[in-house]
């Protein structure tokens, strides 16, 4: 069995070594742009160049080395329609998302963002505490990673809300679904956590109207994709005080250009797309297991629905 692998960073050796250990029956073929690879049974890619597509029409499945598939589905019809695309299903990212989002929610709830600003100004001044009942946390995209984040937040006692495409029942979480449920979800949410896949339905979803539906002095935590948020609208709402702060791990243009106004806005906290990094070992173990299942004719989790876009 042959597995074609491409990584934009060129750092393929550790992946090859992990496959050698975890799927010894496979030989990994490293593909580099401009080369023609030998025919392969499976492919593993992350944000690949268009030129790789001609190598993919004969594989049995394309594995995406991340949870979000926007960077591969963007090829549209050029991506062979008959080849299944399989994304990572947690694979060590859930716990990282839980850490990141819990940290950001607690930072706002305990007003650490304001204490950091006070400390920089040399001010020793206790602030009134927020009340848990006024600090509802709503997760847009209550899927694999969103569900893990809701679980992690549960012990703190915030009112929890989740929004998904299909209706969910999650213990201790008020669940909303579909376009019809979005308004009610937003109107009761103080801290909005975006964990949606980027699809035609969710692109630019968080515009001025939607962000203005949140409870007063709301917060935004975006760990999904930058294109979910209309950036100028967010900035306007932050400057007016309608949105009290935002933590953004993902931006429309990454790296964020130095002249972007977000760098200058103290109520925006930026991180460089690190909320949940691909964990190589867990990913290879998951892909190896999925290849074994596919070879045995068994179903696998994380199969992408091209029509839905995730
Ligand atoms: P997932 O399991 O597919 O969950 C996606 C959730 O979004 C599901 O609950 C889905 O609803 C919901 N959804 C999708 N389209 C919707 C729509 N139009 N309306 C309402 N709900 C909708 O995906 P995941 O593994 O949790 O990953 C989520 C995203 O996180 C990825 O796509 C990626 O963009 C992002 N991510 C970012 C990082 C980072 O480092 N910043 C790392 C990993 C992932 P259903 O449950 O009804 O299908
Ligand atoms: C990272 O952004 C991912 O989608 O896995």
Kindly list the domain boundaries of the chain, sorted by start residue. Answer: 2-91+278-295, 93-270
Q: How far is it, in rounded angstroms, from Cα 88 to Cα 120?
A: 41
Fold classification of 2-91+278-295 is: Rossmann fold (3.40.50)
Ligand 2 pocket mutation, candidates 198, 278, 280, 283, criterion most atoms within 8 A of CB: 278
Decide: pTM greater than 0.85.
yes
Answer left, alpha or beta for residue 286, where phi above 0 means left and psi between -120 and 50 means alpha: alpha
Class of domain 93-270: alpha beta
| Residue 276 in contact with ligand 1 by CB distance below 6 A | yes
Res. 86 pLDDT band, cuts 50 70 90? very high
pLDDT per position as a tens digit, 164-205 = 999 999 999 999 999 999 999 999 999 999 999 999 999 999
Beta strands of the chain (E only): which ranges?
2-5, 27-30, 42-45, 61-64, 85-86, 137-140, 160-164, 173-177, 191-194, 218-222, 243-248, 268-270
Q: Which residues, in sequence order, are bridge partners of residue 246? A: 220, 268
pLDDT in tens, 265-284: 999 999 999 999 999 999 99
- Decide if 273 is catalytic: yes
Exactly one of 130, 267, 273, 280 is catalytic; name it.
Answer: 273
pLDDT tens profile 21-80: 999 999 999 999 998 999 999 999 999 999 999 999 999 999 999 999 999 999 999 999
pLDDT at 156: 98
The pLDDT score that the predictor gives to residue 75 is 97
Q: Is 225 tagged catalytic?
A: yes
Q: Pick from 208, 169, 164, 200: which is nearest to 185 by CA?
A: 164
- Read off the DSSP letter of residue 227: G
**Per-residue confidence (pLDDT) for residue 136, from 0 to 100:** 98
Query: Which pLDDT value is given to residue 121?
Result: 98
Whether 2-91+278-295 and 93-270 share one fold: the answer is yes
Instruction: Render pLDDT for 203-252 as a digit per residue (tens, 0 to 9).
Output: 999 999 999 999 999 999 999 999 999 999 999 999 999 999 999 999 99
């Amino acid at each position: 069995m042959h597995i074609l692998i491409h990584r934009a960073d060129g750092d393929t050796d550790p992946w090859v070594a992990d496959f050698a250990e975890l799927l010894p029956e496979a030989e990994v073929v490293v593909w580099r742009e401009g080369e023609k690879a030998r025919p392969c049974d499976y492919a593993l890619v992350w944000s690949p160049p268009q030129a790789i597509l001609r190598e993919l029409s004969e594989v049995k499945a394309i594995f995406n080395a991340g949870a979000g598939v926007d960077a591969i589905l963007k090829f549209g019809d050029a991506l062979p329609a008959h080849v299944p695309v399989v994304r990572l299903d947690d694979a060590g990212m859930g716990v990282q998302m839980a850490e990141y989002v819990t940290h950001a929610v607690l930072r706002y709830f305990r007003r650490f963002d304001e204490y950091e600003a006070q400390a920089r100004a040399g001010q020793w001044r206790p602030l009134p505490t927020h009340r848990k009942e006024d600090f509802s946390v709503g997760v847009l995209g209550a899927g694999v990673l969103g569900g893990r984040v809701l679980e992690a937040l549960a012990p703190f006692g915030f009112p929890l809300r989740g929004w998904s495409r299909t209706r969910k029942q999650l213990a201790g979480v008020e669940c909303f679904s579909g376009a019809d449920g979005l308004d009610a979800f937003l109107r009761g949410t103080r801290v909005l956590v975006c964990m949606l896949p980027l699809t035609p339905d969710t692109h630019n979803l968080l515009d001025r109207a939607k962000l203005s539906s949140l409870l007063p002095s709301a917060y935004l935590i975006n760990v999904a994709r930058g294109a979910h948020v209309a950036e100028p609208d967010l900035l306007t709402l932050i400057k007016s005080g309608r949105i009290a702060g935002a933590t953004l791990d993902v931006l429309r243009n990454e790296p964020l250009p130095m002249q972007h106004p977000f760098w200058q806005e103290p109520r925006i906290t930026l991180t460089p797309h690190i909320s949940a990094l691909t964990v190589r070992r867990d990913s290879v173990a998951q892909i190896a297991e999925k290849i074994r299942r596919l070879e045995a004719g068994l179903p696998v989790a994380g199969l992408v629905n091209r029509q839905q876009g995730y």
